[in-house]
Amino acid sequence: MSGQWVDFRKVKETVSMDMVLAHYGVQLHPVAGSRLRGRCPLPSHVSQDSSPSFAVDVARNIWACHSDSCVAARSGRLGGNVLDFVASMENCSIRNAALRIESWFPSSAALDKGTGGCSALPPPVGSLALPFAGGDSDSCEVLGFQLWPVDTAHEYLHRRGIDRATAEHFGSGFYAGPGIMNGRVVIPIHDGEGELIGYAGRALDATQPRYRFPTGFRKSLVLFNLHRAITARSHGTVVVVEGFFDCLKVFQAGVRCVVALMGCTMTAIQERLLVENFQHVVLFLDGDDAGRSASSEIAARLVRRLFVRVVDTPSGVQPDEMPLEHIRAVLKPAMDCASDVGS
């Protein structure tokens, strides 16, 4: 590894702060435009002050922490780029930070080598390593290809409680083709118009990252399954869950108007998409501390513009872990209440 060539410029261009923050499990809150803010995750942050001193500008792909302890630990520097962030998190050199990033997100290396990232359905072809819309854009670019074939009857889907009919409806399955999604269960992601804009690749075991996304893809710009939910909406009511498999399981339980945040935070753009397309929101987030906290925060934001109900998910349980009949039972009161309001 000591003699391995590292292209620092390419790493900074192809790996976003979004991706690195997700790798560390850091969750921030949108504040304005492309900016995020929250508590500082750096080990150099020793201040007892709980104020959100850590800020990220997604469009510029930079970060900063204004805490005195962090600034002092970095010899007066407020922040930097993805390389600086990983170097600070890992207490290593910039070079070693780049090597670690390349091992976490090998698609950035594939971009240079021209290996491609898909098995395309003719005639369109493309690569999951190609960058998506960035900067100040509030939408992702449409893909010109599909991953194919996928095994919709794979044992992993069965283990997660997803039947073949649901997997086929969503186009989800195990992908054994070339590229960065090889050996993962892939889940197509569409925009509100139904255009394919990306894939999420779920590892079958403890391999990291647990979910892999195309380089530069920004899940903060979309709601998973929005295009189907818009078609299926009744009385303007939508169920909002955290994850992909939560969404598939709720859909399988017969509630077709369901979207996923792809995390437990709601961005300003996701909030706008909910407000523009629905009148009533039923929050069905995970039953852990993070999910309950997120439910309260999201409900407080949405209640000013929409009718909101929060489902009390069993403690420590995710919606996709619940039997279908239990999902129907916990959602029915909230759905009925929303229908009564809308009628």
pLDDT of residue 13: 79
Contacts of 88 (CB under 8 A, 6+ apart): 42, 43, 44, 74
**pLDDT per 10-residue tile (average), the chain, 343 residues:** 64 82 80 79 74 82 84 80 90 88 63 33 33 48 85 97 97 92 96 93 92 86 96 89 98 97 93 95 95 94 93 94 96 79 52
The span from the CA of 79 to the CA of 64, in Å, is: 4
Q: What is the pTM of this model?
A: 0.63
| pLDDT score recorded for residue 190 | 95
Question: HEC states along the chain?
Answer: CCCCCCCHHHHHHHCCHHHHHHHHCCCCEEEECCEEEECCCCCCCCCCCCCCCEEEECCCCEEEECCHHHHHHCCCCCEECHHHHHHHHHCCCHHHHHHHHHHHCCHHHHHHHCCCCCCCCCCCCCCCCCCCCCCCCCCCCCCCCCCCCEECCCHHHHHCCCCHHHHHHHCCEEECCCCCCCCEEEEEEECCCCCEEEEEEECCCCCCCCEECCCCCCHHHCCECHHHHHHHCECCEEEEECCHHHHHHHHHCCCCCEEECCCCCCCHHHHHHHHHHCCEEEECCCCCHHHHHHHHHHHHHHCCCCEEEECCCCCCCCHHHCCHHHHHHHHHHHHHHHHHHHC
205 token code pair: 């075991």
pLDDT, position 123 = 29
CA distances from 113 to 99, 117, 118, 246 (A): 16, 11, 14, 36
